[in-house]
Chains A and B, each alone.
Chain A
Amino acid sequence: MSVAAPPVAATAEQLKTALRWHVAHSLGKAWEDATEGDLFQALGLAVRDLAWERLLATEKRYREAGARRVYYLSMEFLIGRSLGDSLHNLGIYDEVRAALESLGHDFDEVREEEVDAGLGNGGLGRLAACFLDSLATLHLPGFGYGLFYQYGLFRQEIDNGYQKERPDRWLHAAMPWTVERPEEAVLVPVYGRIVDTIDRKSQYNPMWMDWKILVGVPHEMPVVGYGGETVNALRLYSARASDDFDMENFNSGDYVQAVQEAIGSETISKVLYPSDKVQKGKELRLLQEYFFVACALRDILRRFLREGNTIDRFADKIAIQLNDTHPALAVAELMRLFVDEHDVVWERAWEMTVATLGYTNHTLLPEALEKWPLPLVETVLPRHLQIIYEVNRRFLDEVAHRAPGDQEILVRVSMIEEGEPKQVRMAQLAAAGSHSINGVAALHSRLITENLFPDLYRLHPERFNNKTNGVTPRRWLLKSNPGLAALLTEVAGPGWVTDYGLLRGPLDRLAEDAAFRERFRDVKRENKKRLARVIADLTRVKVDPDSLFDIQIKRIHLYKRQLLNALHVVHLYFRIVEDGIEPKAPRTFVFAGKAAPGYWVAKQVIKLIHSVGERVNRDTRVRGLLKCVFLPDYRVSLAERIIPAADLSEQISTAGMEASGTGNMKLSMNGALTIGTLDGANVEIMEEVGEENIFIFGHTADEIEGLKGSGTYSARQVLETDPRVKRVLDAFQTPLFAPFEPGIFSWLFEHVVENHDPYFHLADFDAYAAAQERVSTQWADPAGWTRKAVLNVGRMGKFSSDRTIREYARDIWNLTPVPPGGNAPR
């Protein structure tokens, strides 16, 4: 039988042919034996063919335009599933559904075969994925670089209410999207020592010797922009042992040791660290960060030179964005590449490095700012430590020149922190080496200049800016909420998919239209019925789709205050069973999220929520007025089920602690009203949707700072003066919520009462309960509630990642779109 090339499919007929071709030739199966999993693979390959064809055309367009490019360096890309998004963006979603159905298969069942690519922890990684979507949609030459983890974020199982972590073997289900490119592997040296020599010009020449070599193999994944005309790439690197790595051991006959070393080097990209916060003293994490940066920069430089550019034009053609401090070693590595490998003089190399790099900060929490023990950096990256020393020396000279006589400032801004051992401060390194330093919401960006880098801000105010986060409406509305998306398209036309602001006018008007509100409510109710089925499947708890779905979905952390929510649930429970007061709104509280495996208290919070749910859901006195469920294994695909069904979005972090949040945006975009503190992007959401369409409560960031500074806050006083709080907390000292595990919640009292709770749970309890009362009152007025929900959806234009990316492109990257058929820049 002759084997023709598979057709690149764009119509239903071509797709059918391509599917049959891939089942036969790529999977080696007879059509009648193909399972749903096989069909997913075949469909993935057919779509990949189309995406790759467009990717090559896009790359050609960029090259011909001599386009400036941006590279987005992120340790995490929380992609989730790709099939649905790719089909929507390629414009063949309906064709594929039709093709599969005409072949006798259920499209939705085939889609369910895809596993989530969970290569991230939470907001930071999902932001990176949204940004890639917007870059491609806006025809911007923007590419992602990251690690191809063999194991993504752990799979969360719940056992007796406790989180258990299981490995996420996402690669075991074959991935049709990525193409491995071993021919473009890069060599990355680590460890070794510096040998002082004199070069041929009698200058000092530090030589990096005795290193070990890692091999970085790229895996390329197409990123399809909406409309399918621009397809960019995400390059993820896996680590391999190099041939030479084990030669010495192999030669001496120690085969086992040799193989262990090979395994050791491959470990570099094996597992995603299950926290986006600092990993103190973890050599493997430092190796991961350097390996990823080194692979990315070598590849970027290789591509740049391949296009006939000369090194001195690097910053003219290339912008690199550091997603938090994890890639901060790019400052030292870029300097090393320029100075050591391309003979650029130090001053010019520094100029180019700063002009190239931009740094996005994602946290203000002092304990979450990355620092590495200096001896560890010296062991793993001896040459880079030399470079950091020299960068720091020159930087401190500049500071001393501009602030003569001020010794304190030198201590504060130094990249090396004194102590035993000394530490390398990655945030200071990233900030000093970047021409742009941005926060991710207006409040956060202000706090960066006031609290995190006040000295640098005084020296270089022009470097600081804000880029409020955004989310892609393609993933978070068009794909995940097809009912609402269709309704929006019907009333506002299809343009909103790439220009979200188009919704505001029509929806402001239609919010007053009772017939439209009815249709809007119908869509929400269908989504809630679907989620109710998911809840029943996952938890065996039956919930009422007509109750208020009160949703808190995010990483479990004390600062995000799931605990405050849970304490309030208990308060409502007592109001029903002890006070005989029925809530105005029957509620279903839905929690989901993972706790970092080493974060003991967060894991106890998960247990507490389960215990509360067990009690509340089974108590017949509650009569269905209250349900509380925890959905296991929160991930992107589960979020896509929950968010469209949400009525209320819990964004209740301690003010000043959440950099931005993006779940708040997704939920509001899907017609949930927000109950939240004035934290992160909540502030701007309030500005956009209007104070009357959001439930704001609690201490502000400045007030929290005031409480901290004055030392006047006493949780015990709240406990003693507010009988509601006392009743709730006292209940956890009894067996009520854990009849078979007495004493398991003793930690609660310690954390929220005794130890000067830094998250101020009880300080905000009264305001939170009052805000929840306002929520219930509003819920009792369905027309008014839906009106607000419609206004929320329509006024979220600011929070499309398209707006965010346009701002990055304009203010930081100096990047111009290169649309097909457009006027390409030179």
Chain B
Amino acid sequence: MNLTIEPQESFILARIEDSRLDALSAPDFKARMTGALTGAAPKVVLDLSLVAFIDSAGLASILSLVKGLPEGGELRIAGARDAVRAVFRLTRLDKVLPLHDTLDDAAAAMGSK
């Protein structure tokens, strides 16, 4: 899958550059993200602005990342489209993970903590 992971000043920015996060791409996504989240208390913004479709396997891979975060770690979602937000709401994952309209909003929220 096309995934870029770039350290920023105060957080790690991960951006999925595919239109789908599904059963096909989720294992790769999970493996690469797990490998990148090695710090003591990693703070991550996941940019989903290019993702048009996410299925339950994709959601499960995000949930497993959340569950694997060490104490003090943080994951925020940025730029999710309506269809993707709907899936987050459906599963109630939006109540676990903060969803921000834009990358800037997510970055600001991360910085303000």
Q: Which residues of A contact B (CB under 8 A)?
A: 187, 189, 192, 195, 197-201, 205-213, 243-244, 247-248, 251, 340-342
Residue among B24, B60, B86 making CB contact with A248, cutoff 8 Å: B24
Smallest distance from the beta carbon of B30 to chain A beta carbons, Å? 14
Which residues of A are found within 8 Å of B90, using beta-carbon distances?
189, 208, 340-341
Chain B residues, CB < 8 A from A197? 63, 96
21 A-B residue pairs with Cβ-Cβ distance under 8 Å, sorted by A, are A187-B87, A189-B56, A192-B56, A198-B96, A199-B92, A199-B96, A200-B96, A207-B92, A208-B92, A209-B60, A210-B56, A210-B60, A211-B56, A243-B53, A244-B20, A244-B55, A247-B23, A248-B57, A340-B90, A341-B86, A341-B89
B24, A251: Cβ atoms closer than 8 Å: yes
Contact indicator per residue, chain B 53-68, by CB within 8 Å of chain A (1) or not (0): 1011101100100000
**Nearest neighbor of B66 in chain A, beta-carbon distance:** A197
Indicate whether A209 sits within 8 Å of B56 (C-beta atoms), given known contacts A244-B22, A247-B22, A340-B90: yes
Q: Which of A187, A195, A205, A207 has the most CB of B within 10 A?
A: A207
- Give the CA-CA distance A198 to B63 in the complex, in Å: 12
Chain A to chain B: the 10 pairs with minimum beta-carbon distance, closest first: A199-B95, A244-B55, A341-B89, A248-B23, A247-B23, A244-B22, A247-B24, A207-B92, A211-B56, A207-B91
Which residues of A lie under 8 Å from residue B20 when comparing CB positions?
244
What is the minimal beta-carbon distance from B15 to any residue of chain A, in angstroms?
21
Cβ contacts under 8 Å, B83 to chain A: 187
Contact among B55, B56, B57, B89 with A340 in the assembled complex (CB-CB below 8 Å): B89
Contacts of A201 in B (CB 8 A): 95
Residues of chain B lying within 8 A (CB to CB) of residue A243? 53
What is the 8 Å Cβ interface bit string for chain B, positions 21-44, against chain A (1 contact, 0 not)? Answer: 011100000000000000000000
Q: How far is the CB of B75 from chain A (nearest CB, A)?
A: 11
Chain A CB count within 10 A is highest, among B23, B63, B93, B95, for B95
In the bound assembly, the distance between CA atoms of A208 and B26 in angstroms comes to 18
Between A209, A213, A243, A342, the greatest number of chain B beta carbons within 10 A of the residue's beta carbon is seen for: A209
Taking CB as reference atom, which chain A residue is nearest B60? A209
Write out the residue numbers on chain B whose beta carbons fall within 8 Å of the beta carbon of A251: 23-24
Given A195-B63, A200-B95, does the pair A187, B86 have CB atoms closer than 8 Å?
Answer: yes
> Any chain A CB within 8 A of the CB of B7?
no
**15 more A-B residue pairs beyond the given contacts A207-B91, A209-B91, A247-B55, with a C-beta to C-beta distance below 8 A:** A189-B56, A192-B56, A195-B63, A199-B92, A199-B95, A200-B95, A200-B98, A205-B95, A206-B92, A210-B56, A213-B56, A244-B20, A244-B23, A247-B22, A247-B23
For residue A702, give the distance in angstroms from its CB to the closest CB of chain B.
Answer: 50
Chain B interface extent, by class: 20 to 34
- Alpha-carbon distance between A643 and B90 when the two chains are bound, in angstroms: 50
Roughly how many angstroms separate A209 CA and B22 CA in the complex, as a whole number?
A: 13
Q: What 1/0 flags go to B2-31 for Cβ under 8 Å of A?
A: 000000000000000000101110000000
Asked whether, in the complex, the Cβ of A205 is within 8 Å of the Cβ of B92, the reply is yes
Q: How far, in whole Å, are A195 and B62 apart by their CA atoms in the complex?
A: 13
Q: How far is the CB of B58 from chain A (nearest CB, A)?
A: 9
In the complex, residue of chain A having the shortest beta-carbon distance to the beta carbon of B25: A247
Interface residues of chain B, those whose CB is within 8 Å of chain A, are 20, 22-24, 53, 55-57, 59-60, 63, 83, 86-87, 89-93, 95-96, 98
Cα distance A195–B56 in the bound complex, in angstroms: 12
Question: Is the CB–CB distance between A207 and B93 below 8 Å?
Answer: yes
B86 to chain A, nearest CB (A): 7
| A residues in contact with B57, CB < 8 Å | 210, 248
A207-B63, A244-B20 known; A213-B55 Cβ under 8 A: yes
A72 to B57, CA, bound (A): 35
Q: Which residues of A contact B86 (CB under 8 A)?
A: 187, 341
Give the residues in chain A near B59, CB-CB below 8 Å: 209
**What chain A residues lie within 8 Å of B98 (beta carbons)?**
200
**Bound CA–CA A205/B96 (angstroms):** 8
CB distance from A94 to the nearest CB of B (A): 49
A187 proximity list for chain B (CB < 8 A): 83, 86-87
Smallest Cβ-Cβ distance to B21: which chain A residue = A244
Complex: A244 Cα to B56 Cα, angstroms: 9
How far, in whole Å, are A210 and B57 apart by their CA atoms in the complex? 7
Residues of A within 8 Å of B93, CB to CB, are: 207
Cα separation A207 to B60 with both chains bound (whole Å): 10
B53: which A residues are within 8 A, CB to CB? Answer: 243-244
Q: Is the CB of B24 within 8 A of A209?
A: no
Contacts of B60 in A (CB 8 A): 209-210
Q: Which residue of B lies closest to A298 (CB)?
A: B86
Which residues on the B side are within 8 Å of A209 (C-beta)? 56, 59-60, 63, 91
- Name the CB-closest residue of A to B83: A187
Report yes or no: A340 in contact with B24, Cβ–Cβ below 8 A.
Answer: no
A340–B22 CB distance below 8 A: no
**Alpha-carbon gap, A198 to B98, bound state (A):** 13
Task: Tell me which residues across on chain A come within 8 A of B23, comparing CB atoms.
Answer: 244, 247-248, 251
Rounded to whole Å, the gap between the CB of B84 and the closest CB of chain A is: 11
Q: Report the bound CA distance from A661 to B96 in whole Å.
A: 52
**Once bound together, how far apart are the Cα atoms of A207 and B98, in whole Å?**
15
Residues of A within 8 A of B22 (CB): 244, 247
Cα A243 to Cα B93 with chains together (Å): 22
Complex Cα gap A340–B88 (Å):
10
Interfacial chain B residues near A210, Cβ < 8 Å:
56-57, 60
Report whether B96 and A340 are in contact in the complex, using a CB–CB cutoff of 8 Å: no
Q: Which residue of B lies closest to A242 (CB)?
A: B55
**Chain B residues within an 8 Å CB radius of A340:** 89-90, 92
Task: Give every chain B residue within 8 A of A198 (Cβ-Cβ).
Answer: 96
Q: List B contacts of A189 (CB < 8 A).
A: 56, 90
| A390-B61 Cα distance, complex, nearest whole Å | 29
| Cα distance A328–B10 in the bound complex, in angstroms | 51
Give Cα A206–Cα B93 distance, bound, in whole angstroms.
9
Q: How far is the CB of B44 from chain A (nearest CB, A)?
A: 16
- Cα A210 to Cα B90 with chains together (Å): 12
With both chains docked as a complex, state the minimum distance between the C-beta of A199 and any C-beta of chain B, in angstroms: 4
User: Min CB distance, B83 to chain A, in Å?
Assistant: 8
A655 CB, min distance to chain B CBs, angstroms: 48
Q: How far is the CB of B28 from chain A (nearest CB, A)?
A: 12
CB distance from A817 to the nearest CB of B (A): 35
Chain B residues within an 8 Å CB radius of A192: 56
Q: Please, which residue of chain B has its CB at the minimum distance from the CB of A206?
A: B92
Q: Roughly how many angstroms separate A205 CA and B23 CA in the complex, as a whole number?
A: 24
Report how far A340 CA is from B59 CA in the complex, Å: 16
Q: Cβ of A211: which chain B residues have Cβ within 8 Å of it?
A: 56
Nearest-CB residue, chain B, relative to A188: B90
Residues on B with C-beta less than 8 A from A213 are: 55-56
- Alpha-carbon distance between A734 and B38 when the two chains are bound, in angstroms: 89
Per the bound structure, the CA–CA distance linking A197 and B98 in Å amounts to 15
Question: How far is the CB of B46 from the nearest CB of chain A, in Å?
Answer: 16
